[in-house]
């Protein structure tokens, strides 16, 4: 769903919104944290090759940056999507540690938090599209590759 809202975002909406919660930055944020939290632990994380420092931050005092291109965010989404199955298979879902010091919960719970986080932002961006008159089709089930 995150890919669908990014693909359907009109150019005029891509860099719109109150700083730091512009459309592009929320999409980048959701992708970055979806990627990060696919790891067993923080020390396993390797940033996306085109990672831009602090672009993922949408809370607190945040520097303003020129918008990442829609094609770069879509490329990042594809990068993360391609690793999901292998990463989930590799996780120790029975671990009582999330692998991230700021999350005190078992790994399986942390995986669920990650899914909900990406869904939350996909829904948030989908609502922005609807308000701008750009309707999207929600996916009810995943297509088999």
> In the prediction, which pLDDT does 68 show?
93
> In the prediction, which pLDDT does 143 show?
64
pTM score? 0.91
Q: How many residues does the chain have?
A: 145
At a CB cut-off of 8 Å and minimum separation 6, what does 140 contact? none
Q: CA end-to-end span of the chain, whole Å?
A: 16
Q: Where are the domains of the chain?
A: 2-89+116-131
At a CB cut-off of 8 Å and minimum separation 6, what does 52 contact? 28, 65, 68
Average pLDDT per block of 10 residues along the chain, 145 residues long: 95 93 95 97 94 82 90 97 96 97 97 97 95 81 63
> In the prediction, which pLDDT does 144 show?
60
> In the prediction, which pLDDT does 59 show?
82
> In the prediction, which pLDDT does 141 show?
67
SS3 readout for the chain: CHHHHHHCCCHHHHCCCCCCCCHHHHHHHHHHHHHHCCCCCHHHCCCCCCCCCCCCCCCCCCCCCCCCCHHHHHHHHHHHHHHHHHHHHHCCCCCCCCCCCCCCCCHHHHHHHHHHHHHHHHHHHHHHHHHCCCCCCCCCCCCCC
């Amino acid at each position: 769903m995150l890919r669908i809202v990014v693909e359907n975002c009109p150019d005029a909406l891509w860099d719109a919104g109150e700083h730091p919660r512009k459309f592009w930055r929320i999409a980048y944020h959701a992708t970055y944290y979806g990627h990060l939290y696919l790891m067993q632990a923080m020390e396993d994380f390797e940033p996306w090759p085109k990672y831009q420092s602090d672009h993922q931050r949408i809370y607190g005092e945040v520097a303003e940056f020129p918008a990442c291109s829609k094609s770069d965010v879509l490329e990042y989404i594809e990068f993360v999507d391609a690793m999901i199955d292998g990463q989930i298979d590799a996780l120790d879902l029975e671990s009582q540690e999330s692998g991230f010091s700021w999350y005190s919960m078992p790994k399986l719970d942390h995986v669920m938090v990650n899914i909900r986080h990406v869904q939350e932002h996909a829904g948030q961006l989908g609502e922005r599209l609807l308000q701008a008159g750009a309707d999207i089709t929600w996916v009810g089930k995943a297509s088999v590759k």
